[in-house]
């Protein structure tokens, strides 16, 4: 297949290519328009391949390959997430003219903190050039109470889209910590639940798909301000949460009693496997209302990160932490080198802190601060980090090479 030599997108019915005499180079109409605008100073905004991804060239395997560059492990979750995102945007951009109307499928990610839930959403949003808004469900309250209105989520998306309504209406909203707004038990409380079930009820309207009036600058609504109307029909909602305690609910359902003599015999791996058996009814017992679960059609789970996964996270992704520090050292003319045992020790420390991959950066910052304080003076040196240096039992080894 022929593809544009500038943006790399393949030729399609929606993206026509021009070629030179010997077919050695190609340019698509979007890049040609951008070049015309650059030469002639056309102030009119030109739609380039950065602004409009050729969705007809995207496949679930291609999306998963993008995730593989940044998210280590979680193979099943990456596959489910890729299919969900692919079907969502296929529904928007490839909708046929027949009577069959494709419904929107939102996604629920269940997994421990630092396992990659937010990263997956951010990675595909960046790859697809669509705006994304990330919010914490614990900061939301019902309208009329102190806190942040649920509709302010859409204001964040509108602002992330550069105040372009059309872009915002095709964006992604990630609601994190969705498990923290679960009802405390299945019975309705007599007292007012302004940040739990009330927020779940408020989320129903925008997740299902409706026209919502939002204040463009955020904050509380008041009668005299201007509003922007956003249609949420084509906005993909992704919810994530750790759901601590859900595995006990699942085990009771499948017949493995949490209490009794066998409690200590069940290992960590067996408890993780229980989460993968989650069903919508388990989430109802956890405290999510059935109406909200019914709008989160695709449910997938993420595994807890192991030490081996931590080592891979430190070294393999395109934005791996070790690569970032190596680049920082190279900017000052020094070379950073980590022993294999040192890398594993950093991974072990992150496992002990139980903060997932998110805790790796804080560990690295603590360890590297003293070294980087003297970094401008280490031009021409190799800095070797050993396991003892990670444990702060020894200083890094400095070798002059220039």
Measured over the CA atoms of residue 350, residue 119, residue 113 and residue 147, the dihedral's sign is: positive
Instruction: Say if residue 113 carries a ligand binding annotation.
Output: yes
Q: What are the backbone angles phi and psi of residue 133, rounded to the nearest 5°? A: -120, 130
Is 188 exposed, middle or buried (CB count within 10 Å of its CB: 0-12, 13-18, 19+)?
exposed
Tokens of 109: 């990610």
119 labeled binding residue = yes
- CA dist 398 and 239 (Å) reads 47
**239 and 110 in contact (C-beta within 8 Å)?**
no
* Residue 255, marked binder: no
C-alpha span between 386 and 209 (Å, rounded): 54
Is 239 annotated as ligand-binding? no
**Rounded to 5°, angle at Cα 13 from 85 and 62:** 30
Residue 300's φ and ψ, nearest 5 degrees, are -140, 155
Do 194 and 147 touch, CB atoms closer than 8 A? yes
60 in a labelled binding site: no
Residue 4, annotated ligand binder?
yes
118 assigned ligand-binding residue: yes
- Spatial CA neighbour of 52 closest among 22, 83, 95, 9: 9
Residue 256 near residue 285 (C-beta atoms within 8 A): no
Q: Is 52 annotated as a binding residue?
A: no
Q: Is 28 annotated as a binding residue?
A: yes
Q: Which of 62, 203, 217 shows the shortest CA–CA distance to 143? A: 203
d(CA 266, CA 257): 11
Q: Say if residue 59 carries a ligand binding annotation.
A: no
Annotated binding site for Zn(2+): 4, 7, 28, 31
Question: From the annotation, which residues make up the binding site for ATP?
Answer: 112-119
Q: Binding-site residues, please?
A: 4, 7, 28, 31, 112-119
């Amino acid at each position: 297949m022929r593809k544009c030599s500038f943006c790399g997108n393949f030729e399609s019915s929606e993206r026509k290519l021009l070629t030179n005499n010997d077919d050695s180079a190609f340019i698509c109409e979007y890049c040609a328009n951008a070049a015309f605008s650059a030469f002639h100073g056309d102030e009119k905004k030109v739609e380039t391949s950065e602004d409009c991804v050729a969705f007809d060239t995207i496949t679930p395997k291609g999306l998963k390959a993008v995730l593989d560059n940044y998210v280590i492990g979680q193979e099943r979750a990456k596959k489910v997430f890729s299919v969900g995102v692919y079907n969502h945007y296929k529904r928007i951009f490839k909708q046929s003219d027949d009577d069959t109307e494709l419904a929107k499928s939102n996604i629920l990610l269940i997994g421990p903190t630092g396992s990659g839930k937010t990263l997956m959403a951010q990675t595909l949003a960046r790859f697809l050039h669509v705006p994304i808004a990330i919010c914490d469900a614990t900061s939301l309250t019902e309208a009329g109470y102190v806190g942040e209105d649920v509709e302010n989520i859409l204001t964040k998306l509108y602002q992330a889209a550069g105040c372009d309504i059309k872009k915002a209406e095709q964006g992604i909203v990630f609601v994190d910590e969705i498990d923290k707004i679960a009802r405390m038990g299945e019975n309705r409380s007599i007292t007012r639940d302004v940040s739990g079930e009330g927020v779940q009820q408020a989320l129903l309207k925008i997740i299902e798909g409706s026209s919502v009036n939002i204040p463009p600058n955020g904050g509380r609504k008041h009668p005299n301000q201007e509003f922007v109307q956003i249609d949420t029909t084509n906005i993909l909602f992704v919810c994530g949460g750790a759901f601590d305690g859900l595995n006990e609910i699942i085990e009771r359902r499948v017949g493995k009693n949490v209490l009794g003599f066998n409690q200590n015999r069940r290992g960590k791996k067996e408890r993780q496997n229980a989460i993968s058996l989650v069903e919508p009814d388990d989430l109802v017992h956890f405290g999510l209302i059935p109406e909200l679960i019914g709008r989160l059609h695709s449910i997938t789970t993420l595994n807890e990160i192991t030490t081996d996964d931590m080592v891979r996270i430190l070294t393999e992704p395109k934005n791996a932490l070790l690569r970032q520090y190596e680049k920082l050292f190279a900017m000052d003319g020094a070379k950073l080198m980590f022993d294999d045992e040192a890398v594993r020790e950093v991974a072990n420390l992150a496992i002990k802190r139980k903060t997932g991959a998110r805790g790796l950066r804080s560990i690295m910052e603590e360890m590297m601060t003293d070294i980087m304080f003297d970094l401008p003076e280490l031009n021409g040196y190799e800095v070797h980090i050993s396991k003892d240096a990670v444990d702060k039992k020894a200083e890094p080894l400095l070798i002059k090479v220039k």
